[in-house]
Structure 1
Amino acid sequence: MLDSKSLLLPLYYYGTYPYRWWQNRKAAAEHRTPVVVLFYHRIADDRANAWTTSNRSFARQIGWLAKHSQIVSLREAQRRIRSGDNTRPCVSITFDDGYAENCREAIPLLVREQIPCTYFVTLGNVLEGEPFAHDVAQGNRFAPNSLSELRAMAAAGIEIASHTYSHPDLGQVSDEEQLYHEVVESGKELQALLGRPVRYFAFPFGQHANLSSRAFQLAREAGYEAVCSAYGGYNFPGDDPFHLQRIHADDMIRLKNRATVDPRKIVTPRFAYRLAGSEEEAVG
């Protein structure tokens, strides 16, 4: 059964569309069209939960995005943010965790259509073959990707990136050794196993409370090109290109609502982090 929010969202989306059209034209004229970074988790048709998108819905979403915006790599998204100049709607596709089911239809679709994608994996689950603890806690035992699957994806052009080693809440990790292992060593080991650069890092859970300045510091020192959060919000040209804010894709109407710049999310506060040795606060 649909909840009241799900029933009201189409009314909100279509009711605010004239404002969105005007706002997006204004942003384009000012070279300030926001860069949208979406994230998915599991694409499958069985045992759906809040983080699962069906294969049919995913294919429809990709088709809609390709028609209404440019789908760009995370590196290109970063370039547009850094340049301070973007006039066209663009979207970057990412995945978190690393579920085996994604290799059945979703990843082959992206490869076939030559759509860039960044795929963040939790390395410990890949190597051990164990389901994710947050899924097990909900009674689900979804299989993670295998190392051979990651290598095949990388060979096909999918960018593989780090999502820590064991998927902890980094906002609650104060032990320096553990933090280093999760942020830095996970990426180095993944890079060695793939024989390819690991350029990006995504925080598990990704809300404000799950981020930390120290983790940002370690990620920058490790040589990551950018880190990703998951609390929603857009990336405007001229924003900090090291911290990419992401929005959950969800179902079709929510995707349309978010990809066309939801007025409510324009004002999402960015996580502010401070790097050691810097006198100025960096706004992520």
Structure 2
Amino acid sequence: MLKRAIITAGLYGTDLIRAHRWAGFARGRGVILTFHHVRPATSAGFAPNRLLEITPDFLETVLDTLDALRFDIVPLDDVPERLRGGEAGRPFAVLTFDDGYRDNRDHAAPILAARGLPWTLFVTRDFALGHGRFWWRELEEAVRRLDRVRIDDLDLPAETDAQKSRAYETIYWRLRAGSEADLRAATLRLAEQAGVDVAALSADACLTFDELASLARDPKVTLGAHTLTHPMLAKWDEATATREIVESREALVAATGREVRHLAYPVGDPGSAGEREFAIAREAGFATALTTRPGHLFAAHADRLHALPRVSINGLHQNAGAVRALLSGLPFLAWNRGRRVA
């Protein structure tokens, strides 16, 4: 909660001082934006993953703000050349959507098509097959249904929304600190205890390969690989990480007939993707590979095309001021301690 309050204050303060008008030194040549769900607002209450969803109206706000700040919206294929070019010119933005959610097609795609904008959808094979593991949703749904949550040495009350939020955060970060195999086993046990239909979580949420093949016929849509099972790659051995990266592209090509030139690392933070994964992606022949490490793109990123940062559009900050602050680059200059390439 404290971290969220600090982020909110930082975004508000950055916009208050109109950093987007004067902090050109902080803004890079471009920015890759990350989205997850785009769908109508749900009811208030216990929703620990609300940061991963925005409304269609707010997507319109993001696009309006990019236009007002004179950003060119370009396909991901253009990024290497934009970074290698001489003069920077107008800043650019790339729109990327992770995981392959059906709501991206139903709510985001019509907005983007009406504006003639390119966008990239990163697909996890098992989600498209309908049997992937949304472990973070398993945990959420289990906590939602239980009045007490017992796991290992933890015994946490979960009767009110506030208690559920505390229980979720406590368990989430405890599990994230260990192995992913243990994490997935633990969330599955909790989900089964709470009567959660685990299989339905991905089957109901994600586009099938047939639906993806249909979507891929739109020349404005780029499909990218997002691994086979959505693991935190750095927590697994090299052979597993390589298989997840390489075979996910093969599966997507086979299902859609489209070339797949780009990769996004699941979770994408330093604990999930590092130098080993960057090397695997490079050696596999991907043109770019994207992290979730926060930051703008600078010319020096032309030499780090398989470790590109992104800027997450956070569902907890759905206002134009937050978007202007993020596009100014100033928050990331502070976050990265003055380094343009982290």
TM-score by length of 2: 0.70
2:96 paired residue number: 94
Q: How big is the shift at 1:118? A: 1.1
Among 219, 230, 234, the alignment partner of 1:171 is 234
* Bigger Cα displacement from structure 2, 131-140 vs 152-161: 131-140
- Does 2:266 align with 1:204? yes
**2:130–2:206: 8 Å Cα contact kept in structure 1?**
no
1:42 paired residue number: 37
Q: How big is the shift at 1:198? A: 0.4
2:129 paired residue number: 127
Q: Return closer, same or farther for 1:77/1:16 CA change in 2, 3 Å cut-off.
A: farther
Give the distance between the partners of 1:102 and 1:74, measured in 2 at CA: 17
Q: Return closer, same or farther for 1:118/1:154 CA change in 2, 3 Å cut-off.
A: same
Secondary structure of 2:205's counterpart equals coil
Q: CA RMSD in A?
A: 2.8
Q: How does 1:46-61 map to 2 (within 5 A)?
A: 46-47=41-42, 49-61=50-62
- Does 2:136 align with 1:74? no
Q: How big is the shift at 1:254? A: 2.4
State the Cα deviation string for residues 99-122 of structure 1 (Å, max 9, x = none).
Answer: 111111211211221111111111
Secondary structure of 1:93's counterpart equals strand
Q: How big is the shift at 1:259? A: 1.2
1:254 paired residue number: 322
* Bigger Cα displacement from structure 2, 178-187 vs 146-155: 146-155
Give the distance between the partners of 1:85 and 1:192, measured in 2 at CA: 39
**2:98–2:123: 8 Å Cα contact kept in structure 1?**
yes
Q: Which amino acid aligns with 2:266?
A: P
Higher RCO (C-alpha 8 Å, min separation 6): 2
Give the distance between the partners of 1:46 and 1:131, measured in 2 at CA: 24
- Does 2:194 align with 1:192? no
Q: Which amino acid aligns with 2:312?
A: H
Give the distance between the partners of 1:113 and 1:148, measured in 2 at CA: 25
2:333 paired residue number: 265
Q: Which amino acid aligns with 1:246?
A: R
Q: Which runs of 4+ in 1 moved over 6 A?
A: none
**2:224–2:260: 8 Å Cα contact kept in structure 1?**
yes
State the Cα deviation string for residues 181-237 of structure 1 (Å, max 9, x = none).
Answer: 211011111112111110000111111111132222221122110100002011102
Q: Return closer, same or farther for 1:7/1:132 CA change in 2, 3 Å cut-off.
A: closer
Q: How big is the shift at 1:87? A: 2.3
Give the distance between the partners of 1:211 and 1:152, measured in 2 at CA: 31
**1:85–1:238: 8 Å Cα contact kept in structure 2?**
no
TM-score by length of 1: 0.83
Percentage identity across paired residues of the two chains: 26
1:276 paired residue number: none
2:309 paired residue number: 245
Q: Which amino acid aligns with 2:55?
A: S
Q: How big is the shift at 1:172? A: 0.5
**1:207–1:230: 8 Å Cα contact kept in structure 2?**
yes
Secondary structure of 1:231's counterpart equals strand
* Bigger Cα displacement from structure 2, 187-196 vs 135-144: 135-144
2:290 paired residue number: 228
User: Could you say which structure has the higher helix fraction?
Assistant: 2
**1:235–1:244: 8 Å Cα contact kept in structure 2?**
yes
* Bigger Cα displacement from structure 2, 210-219 vs 165-174: 210-219
Q: Which amino acid aligns with 1:55?
A: P
Q: How big is the shift at 1:163? A: 0.6
Q: Which structure has the larger Rg over C-alpha atoms? A: 2
* Bigger Cα displacement from structure 2, 135-144 vs 231-240: 135-144
**2:30–2:92: 8 Å Cα contact kept in structure 1?**
yes
State the Cα deviation string for residues 67-98 of structure 1 (Å, max 9, x = none).
Answer: 32111111222211122531212111101111
Q: Which amino acid aligns with 1:15?
A: L
Q: Return closer, same or farther for 1:130/1:79 CA change in 2, 3 Å cut-off.
A: same
**1:94–1:120: 8 Å Cα contact kept in structure 2?**
yes
**1:232–1:265: 8 Å Cα contact kept in structure 2?**
no
Among 209, 222, 225, the alignment partner of 1:159 is 222
Q: Return closer, same or farther for 1:204/1:269 CA change in 2, 3 Å cut-off.
A: farther
